[in-house]
Structure 1
Amino acid sequence: MINIVYRLKSPKFFEEAIDEIELDGIIVRPTYLSICQADQRYYQGSRPAEILEEKLPMALIHEAIGEVVFDNSGEFEVGDKVVMIPNTPQGSDVCRPNYSYNSKFRGSGFDGFTSDLVRLEHDRVVRIPDEFNSHVSAFIELISVAYQGISKFSDLAITPKDALGVWGDGNLGFITSLFLKVMFPQSKVIVFGKHLENLNLFSFADEIYQIHNVPDDIVIDHAFECVGSSASQSAIEQIIDLINPQGTINLFGVSEYPIPINTRMVLEKGLTVQGNSRSERQDFEGVVETLKQNPQLFEYLDKLVTNVCEINTLDDLKEAFEKDYISHFGKTILKWNK
């Protein structure tokens, strides 16, 4: 079957390519996609030159839902609504596939979801109810990253979880805080951020503070760093200052730069630092089930949708990336009409 793939050939330049797609596994037509910061780094050319040379041309986007158009097993019906899993394990490993060097990830090393059709293995899709909000469902992948980090924290933490601190007032900080309130309803969730206009959207949080105006008596049991970039350094410094002994520091923020950490205080307090990246099938399933059980979450998550762009041409796709780039908060959703 003929398929058209829309690849980023060089920064800010997309091109169409015709590929052959095999009629096996499951074939999905993308319907709604979501731009993330990793996509923007490729589009803007802010990754190192050697990385861009190695990976481009490549179809972007790893957050997406779609409709089934073919399934050789009969497990799915044509028209079924599914979320697509970008992580693609290659062989078995002792660690989770999202941490394995043997796994491949769409939109980072091989083609993402900007194409007319996508062929996947059956374990790379999860069915979602028709009534799910499509704009929010488009970024279930991002939600699943927060979910897997919270699940790992739940298994790791040995001290009380009375006060949970989240650093970061962006998309991931919002999602992490929201899911902490659902998964740990007895805990106090405290959000620390820089931008008051963003923090005011965290209406579900127990307390919000700007990072430069934190009361002297605030202490937390465990922390979630969702800042990223060079700002991670000051966030981690503040976390180490405020966290109780034997707490966990759960890192989510991605930085292109080495971040120094005060290891003396990490040792003195007996802290555990845990990295979190990407997610796997059980995390997608967990998010879908959590949304089924807590439909009110869609009302909160919909606040993250700041742009909805209909994509009919490559110029539309480019315009959507430019619009997303100047947005300081929220998600840009692509209604994929290709």
Structure 2
Amino acid sequence: MLNTVYQLKRPRQFEAVFKRIVLDESSVLVRPTYLSICNADQRYYQGTRNKKVLNEKLPMALIHEGIGKVVFDPTGTFQVNEAVIMIPNIPQEQDEVIAENYLTSSRFCASGEDGFMREFVSTRPDRLLKLPENINPYVAAFTELVSVAFHAVGRFDRSAHSRREWIGVWGDGNLAYITSLLLKKMFPECKIAVFGKHWQKMADFTFADATYEITSVPAGVSVNHAFECVGGSGSSGAINQIIDYIHPEGMISIMGVTEELAPINTRMILEKGLTVKGSSRSGRKDYEGLLRLYLEHSDIIDYLEKIVGAQIHVRNIKDIIEAFETDIHKISGKTIMIWDK
């Protein structure tokens, strides 16, 4: 059957192309319903990625955060019309040491592989998870982003030392909000301090134990471990400020993405004996763990509803452009496309 795929041909220019789907016995056919725009999608849309990277990866359908409904499943794993979360990471092998999201052989939707901006998505059943009932679909749409934070927090828990009186989170955007929320729920005995640029945004971090503007941190403030959720041009400044405020032998978890090299104070990393750990993407196990956490702490969904931003019905390319342009000018929150294709 022919499938309509909405690809980014070049920055700010989408086109509809038709690709053939082979309905085999091992793949599930899903119709996307709610899609969430990520900063990575915006880097392609605005053309801020390296020109060589753009030339290599475009044309390509964007979006790796989304949910959908099962249309056809010859494997018998799901029921028709069942709501599912789509996992964008597609591993090609298993490794006893390296997680699926770090294997160089893994493919990833909207990064060299068409993302979810399609009429139908044909995928393996292990790349889908049944969406629990009573979860706001606008929140469910960005489950992938939350799973990335869950993955990073899990890596922190397995590696960082046990002195965790204060954990700092640098950043005041969506990733910082989600990461600090998960930290508070997963480690209720720890105190969470948020360090950001905009007090208006940090006012939403009502679950945090303290919030500080990075230009006026009070004397005596320090943390045992820290998460960098800034990314972009602010990565270097955030990491270096963390190095200043973190206790010796603490762990710095780097999550923000930047297109440029970020100079950091390696002398003090050595002097303090710090561990720097990078985390990126997530795998099926992270999604499964996150869904269990939702069941244990149902109020997480309530908090995540606060970062749902613009909600735009998408029926054509003009609507797609409107959604991406709206997302560029947002103050905060996640832009959700109701995918009426």
How does the TM-score come out when normalised to structure 2? 0.97
In the aligned structure 1, how far is the partner of 2:195 from the partner of 2:284?
Answer: 30
Show CA shifts across 1:104-124 (max 9, x none): 110010100001100111110
Show CA shifts across 1:10-69 (max 9, x none): 111111111111223111110000000110111111112211111111000000001111
User: What is the aligned partner in structure 1 of residue 129 from structure 2?
Assistant: 126
Q: 1:159·1:247 contact (CA, 8 Å) conserved in 2? A: no
User: What is the aligned partner in structure 2 of residue 183 from structure 1?
Assistant: 186
Structure 1 portions without partners, runs of 5+ = none
User: What is the aligned partner in structure 2 of residue 2 from structure 1?
Assistant: 2
1:1-338 map, 5 Å: 1-24=1-24, 25-93=27-95, 94-338=97-341
CA-CA distance at 1:91 after TM superposition: 2.4
SS of the residue 1:333 aligns to: strand
SS of the residue 1:40 aligns to: helix
CA-CA distance at 1:261 after TM superposition: 1.4
* Number of corresponding residues: 338
CA-CA distance at 1:253 after TM superposition: 0.5
> Which of 229-238 and 309-318 deviates more?
229-238
Moved over 3 A (4+): none
Show CA shifts across 1:143-201 (max 9, x none): 00000000000000124111000000000000000000000000000000000110001
In the aligned structure 1, how far is the partner of 2:137 from the partner of 2:34?
Answer: 7
AA aligned opposite 2:131: I
AA aligned opposite 1:49: K
CA-CA distance at 1:245 after TM superposition: 1.0
> Which of 139-148 and 325-334 deviates more?
325-334
In the aligned structure 1, how far is the partner of 2:279 from the partner of 2:184?
Answer: 19
SS of the residue 2:306 aligns to: helix
In the aligned structure 2, how far is the partner of 1:240 from the partner of 1:130?
Answer: 43
AA aligned opposite 1:22: V
Structure 2 portions without partners, runs of 5+ = none
In the aligned structure 1, how far is the partner of 2:23 from the partner of 2:292?
Answer: 30
> Which of 242-251 and 289-298 deviates more?
289-298
In the aligned structure 1, how far is the partner of 2:71 from the partner of 2:30?
Answer: 6
In the aligned structure 2, how far is the partner of 1:284 from the partner of 1:221?
Answer: 27
> Which of 314-323 and 47-56 deviates more?
47-56
In the aligned structure 1, how far is the partner of 2:89 from the partner of 2:315?
Answer: 27
SS of the residue 1:110 aligns to: coil
CA-CA distance at 1:328 after TM superposition: 2.7
SS of the residue 1:287 aligns to: helix
In the aligned structure 1, how far is the partner of 2:36 from the partner of 2:63?
Answer: 7
SS of the residue 2:8 aligns to: strand
AA aligned opposite 1:292: L
